[in-house]
A and B are shown apart, each in its own frame.
Chain A
Amino acid sequence: MTGRDLDPTLKRLLGSGEPEIGCDECFDQLDRYVELQLAGASADELVPGLRAHLVGCPACAEEHESLRALLELDSVS
């Protein structure tokens, strides 16, 4: 969506329109996606549709944030 700075609520109502995967596939791919991210790899290219799903699904986004944060904590423990 371009050319208009939409209200955040309107953005959440309308969604991005980008191709995205569903919650089950997000869960299946989440471990791989986060490890790719932490390795500096092109996670969004290698796991297409997951980033768009995280934008549209607050619950999956929370779990993504938590998995990433936990692995980061592990890496310094």
Chain B
Amino acid sequence: MTEPTDTETTVRALLNAAGMTTLTDEQVQIFVRAYPTLRTAADRLYAVPEVRYEQPAVIFSAR
């Protein structure tokens, strides 16, 4: 589990990489405020021990 040292830098990098480069500072801050909650939600799933060796529910069939 990683703890970003600069949430805003991380969020701006992710938004820019996705092509969302025209957002205002106010719009970016909405995501900066949400990011810790989003990150916690994902990190919680890595912490469920029963999932460690589970297969994802996205198995592709070539048939």
Q: Do A and B bind each other?
A: no
Q: Which residues of B contact A (CB under 8 A)?
A: none
Q: Which residues of A contact B (CB under 8 A)?
A: none
